[in-house]
Amino acid sequence: MKSYTDIEQSKKLAEILPIESADMFYWCGDQIRLGFYRAMDKDLDIPAWSLAALLNYLHEIDFFPGIDADEHGVTMSIDYYNEDEGKLLHPVHNIKAEAETFVDACCEMIILLHKENLI
């Protein structure tokens, strides 16, 4: 089971999330290794996030995803209110992210929220 973001996901999330929200890092020396965030060299290493850190970040910014999981994968969904559309009949929107693992679904959700300018 996947417990933390892979290198590609970590690079994408590092452009979106505060680095302080990461709880791990990829040490990019002669071998790539995973370590704890406190030892990270910000010029050389890549921050990484565990599932707990990703969910904690969403919680801190007041997004609480609904999570469905079965043998086929994981679906996360978030309903949000668009204040700019406050006078419309249905101003509530829904974002869904589907992936094979919880970490992948959570990463996809954060990327989708960023695309919608919600984070």
**pTM, full prediction:** 0.80
DSSP conformation letters of 39-57: G--TTT-EEE-BHHHHHHH
How is the beta sheet containing 46-48 ordered, strand by strand? 32-36, 24-28, 46-48
2-53 pLDDT, tens per residue?
A: 889 999 999 999 999 998 899 988 887 666 777 776 666 677 788 999 999 9
Q: For residue 56, what pLDDT band results from cuts at 50, 70 and 90?
A: very high
pLDDT over threshold 90, residue 111: yes
DSSP secondary-structure letter at 102? Answer: H
